[in-house]
Structure 1
Amino acid sequence: MEFQSVLLSVLFIAGTILLALAVYFTMRRLVGDNFETDTETLAGSVIFRVSALHGLILALVFAQELVAYDQLQTNLVREATAIADIYNDIRRYDTDVEEDVQAALSAYVRVVIEEEWALLADQQASSGQGWVLREQVYNALLDLTPDTPRQATLRDHMLYKIQLIAELRQERENTASHSISPLFWAASLIGIVLVTIPYFIFKPTKLHIALLSVYGGFTGLVMYTIFAFSDPFDDPGALRPVAFERLLETEIGDS
């Protein structure tokens, strides 16, 4: 998988470099040096305006995908914390269903790590077994009958946490089903073409070709990063459920 990620990044970068150079040399062949003196001024103005818009598009989508990626990490920690809270609070409640609830929570964590993560990557769907285990815990908590204010507070807290788990599961599935619109990729590639066209005014020296390659390569790198962040469940930007893995290192993993 790591090799494939490296290969994909090379393809993105090399592809945008080749696209930029192909457009440049095509324009040089079509126009050559047959342009007026004021063409340089006009070309410079076009380069500035188009590149600004192109950069803005890339920056906005990059920021959007990064925020979604970070939000998923935050939600994983929130969900793991909710699981740990219920696991400990059911012990404080002192009820006969304590072991059943704790066992269901432990099984839920394992399902997310061992089954659900792969499903989110392959089918953009949550595990049905994960929902079953969550409902099992929810129904057990609903059936609790508090005898003291302490138990009433614990029950309310656990119910809030198990409802939060459902919300976070739904958000996670929505994140998995999200994909970047083909219009963005089209706009990105067209932007490279439009930014590169006015560069025909510069002669194809080694330095000019190198600088144009730097532009194309960096644009490809940004596009690759956006692509990686767009799917946090699969390579190349796969996010591991570290918060859940750490739960299994505690007593939750022994239930």
Structure 2
Amino acid sequence: MQQTNQTILTPSRDSSGAVLAALKAAFPQTIPVLTGYFVLGLGYGIYVQSLGLPIWLPPLMGTVVYGGSLEFVLASLLLDSFSPLSAFLMALMIQARHLFYGLTMLERYKGYGPRGFYMIYAMSDETFSITCSAEPPEGVDRGWFMFFITLLDQIYWVASAFLGAAVGSILPFSTEGVDFVMTAMFVVIFLNQWEKEKQHYSGFIGLAVPFVCLLVFGSGSFLIPSMICILVLLLVLRKPIEQADKTEEVAP
């Protein structure tokens, strides 16, 4: 009987050890994300406080939405009149790339059970980059390794957002103007995308279409037409743009 009990208990100890080993292996992979999320999450929390929203909102949105740039936009949308269509289209435009992230990782996360569903749900740009290239050390369970990379990244964002909200609520000086962080963030995202592209067709579309819609529809109602026109143009011109990029790669 004593031998039987030992046999039953051993797998449990081995399982706990495998999980801990995966956590230890995953943490160093996420350190760059920790540094980036700390700065951006801190700014996000302070930004939400500058809008007069409650301190618990940033960590809640970081847990439920976990959309990075989308969370900045949603914070400002909460102060506007209720417009579900505008909110839906904006969220779709900003986060559409995550659909492809999830589809890309379906096969990679196959067989991981509930962990796979969470990892696809919590797939951020940074997590996608790490999990696409990172390999667990020999003897470390791949499923737990990928799971902890995803979980740690989200914890970093939620904790940083909460810390920023807490700091913003007790700052002894005015936070007026801190909302410019959202504008600056989107400018940086645009510039990064511009540098990655060899042909800047999508960048020119993103600049020209809103400008034309602003002239046609006015500042109060140009956003939705802009997003629709950008989406349609990118779909229609997708093949020519891809062909132009391939031609640029082949050219000496």
Question: Structure 1 length as normaliser, TM-score?
Answer: 0.29
Task: Report which of the two structures shows the higher radius of gyration computed on alpha carbons.
Answer: 1
**TM-score scaled by length of structure 2:** 0.29
* Larger RCO (CA under 8 A, 6+ residues apart): 1
